[in-house]
Structure formats: structure tokens, C-alpha cells
Amino acid sequence: MRDTASIVLKIVSSSPAPVTRFAPSPTGRLHIGHVYSALFSAAAAKGGRFLLRIEDIDRGRCRPEFEAAILEDLGWLGLRWETPVRRQSAHMADYRSALDVLDGDGLLYPCFCTRKDLRAQAAGATLAPHGPDGPLYRGICRALPPSVRAQRIASGSPYALRLDMKAAAARAGNLRFVDRERGEIEVNPTACGDVVLARKDVATSYHLAVTLDDAAQGITLVTRGEDLLHATHIHRILQALLGLPEPEYWHHRLLRDAHGRRYAKRDRDRTIRDLRQSGHSPAAVRELAGFAPA
Ligand code: GLU
């Protein structure tokens, strides 16, 4: 009989070095929480490849000067990544093609609900199931007769595209994903409800773009904050529906301030830019984020 240690050794030595990525949105300056996330991802690549992706689908909120500052700040910190940097806004046609596949499989429906409609539905649904972003969408537009849908589209009513999660889960079957710290996790399709895959104002969404991009960039180990653990359930389902490879995941803890609050854009004195201007060296900033100097 082969002993377990030699089998484990064989698996470890034959598993390719990881490909990881850091994927900031250029909607503001990078803060110390981003430093932690970026250094975590680069460290997890360990002899493998570390990639960068600019998540700029929201053209209204993203600004070129923030993108330039991200590249400059990460370089100043001492991080090196492979080029070219992938920019989501350059791949809208790929997102469209994936939507066409899902639509062809009957898994999408147009949702005409306005923010006001959604607020009203949520207010009347205090006992309804809740997801990470509040009450789950109640499927009002899923139930619209085809003739009403066609008429509303023809009349120019703006709509988002939602995934019919029940149908998607039935098609995808039982799924799991592996998190390096948490082990194997069973996918819970109903936790997030009928998520939006194409917004009214942007012809894709975070979930769709991230899932497709991780596959396109050949990411084998997705690292990100544990605040996005719920999103991985959705991404795993999309991978199965679109025939994409399944990466491993590593959801890391979030860096918090002295009051236990996670860092956010409001923490202006904790941006790399400000720390830099107040005289911190790259090594000092790495240390502030809990990483030993490079
Ligand atoms: N763009 C996302 C953010 O800035 C990260 C998405 C991800 O890592 O999956 O929070």
C-alpha cells in the first residue's frame, strides 16, 4: 500500500505555483486595509504569479487619476505584478457573451424595479429572508408574463438582468468550494437570492465580471477579504453554469482600527498617499498593515 505521506508530497510537489490577483476599484485612494489585502495576495502567490486587475465597470464612480494613483502607490510599496494589467472596462463584450449564454439557457430575466420599488418591497418584508445586502429580492419581475416583459422593453423601460437562482441552482447541481482557512464549503444558492448580473446603468455586475476575469486571467487562488465570502457562493454557481475552471479561495481577515472598525474611504489619514506624505517609508507602511518589511 502507498503511504499517505508520499501521496501528499506528490500532490504538493505537482500542484502548480499559485496565480493570485489584487483587484481594486479606482473609486478612491488605497488605504491601509488595501495594503493588507494587496500584500496578502502577493505573499500567497509565493513563487507563483501575482496579477493586478482594475475593476472599473462603474464608469460614474471610477476616475483615471485614482487608477494612476493605485499603480503608483502599489509600486512605491515595493509590489511588482505582471503586465498587462487587466482593466474590466475593456472587456464589456466578454461579459455580454456570458449573459447571452445564460439567457439562452433561460436563466435570466429582466427586472424593471426601481430603487424606490425595491425599498418599498423591502419595507413590507421585514420577516422575509435576508441576505448579506438586506432583504432578498422577492422575484416580482420573475413572475411577469412574457407579453408584459416584451411590452415594457419595447416601451424603453430600463431594466437590470437577474439570475433566476432557483433555476440556476437546479442546473448547476450541488457545489462546493475550497477556502484555504475554512476548508470545504457547501454552496448555498438561496442565500443571496436572484442576484443582478447586469445593472441598469452598467451592462455587467461585480459578480459576473469578477468570475469571468478570474477565469480569463488564469487565477488559481482567489484572495480577498472575508466580507466577500458570501459572493463566492454566487461565483461558484456562475463558474458551473459557464463551464469555467474552479479556483481555490482564501478569504482573509479585515484589518481594523483601534475601535474595531474596518478601514474605509473615510479614513483619509490612513491612505497610502497620506502616510507617504507624513513621512512613512514603504517598510513602515507594510509594518502598519502587519507585514514584516520586504
Ligand atoms: N474590486 C473589489 C473591491 O475593491 C474586490 C473584488 C474581489 O477581490 O473579488 O473590493
Q: Answer yes or no: is pLDDT of 4 > 80.
A: no
Q: Answer yes or no: is pLDDT of 273 > 50.
A: yes
pLDDT for 132 equals 77
Residues of the chain with pLDDT > 70, as a percent, come to 93
If you measure from the C-alpha of residue 262 to the centroid of ligand 1, how many angstroms do you get, rounded to a whole number?
A: 15
Q: Whose CA is nearest to atom 5 of ligand 1?
A: 23
Q: Whose CA is nearest to atom 4 of ligand 1?
A: 24
Nearest by Cα to 175 from 108, 249, 246, 102: 246
If you measure from the C-alpha of residue 206 to the centroid of ligand 1, how many angstroms do you get, rounded to a whole number?
A: 8
* Mean pLDDT estimate for the chain: 92
Residue 265, phi then psi, degrees to nearest 5? -60, -25
pLDDT for 294 equals 55
Binned at pLDDT 50, 70 and 90, residue 149 comes out as very high
Q: Answer yes or no: is pLDDT of 246 > 80.
A: yes
Residues of the chain with pLDDT > 90, as a percent, come to 79
Helix axes 229-242, 206-216, angle to 10 degrees: 60
Express each pLDDT in 174-190 by its tens digit: 999 999 999 999 999 98
What is the average per-residue pLDDT within 199-217? Answer: 97
pLDDT for 271 equals 94
Binned at pLDDT 50, 70 and 90, residue 95 comes out as very high
Helix axes 64-77, 32-45, angle to 10 degrees: 60
If you measure from the C-alpha of residue 218 to the centroid of ligand 1, how many angstroms do you get, rounded to a whole number?
A: 17
Express each pLDDT in 214-234 by its tens digit: 999 999 999 999 999 999 999
Residue 222, helix vs strand vs coil: strand
pLDDT for 242 equals 98
If you measure from the C-alpha of residue 228 to the centroid of ligand 1, how many angstroms do you get, rounded to a whole number?
A: 8
Q: Whose CA is nearest to atom 6 of ligand 1?
A: 23
pLDDT for 120 equals 86
Q: Answer yes or no: is pLDDT of 20 > 90.
A: yes
pLDDT for 5 equals 41
What is the average per-residue pLDDT within 247-264? Answer: 92
Quote the CA–CA distance of 68 and 162 in Å, as a whole number.
33
290 Ramachandran zone, left/alpha/beta (phi>0; psi -120 to 50): left
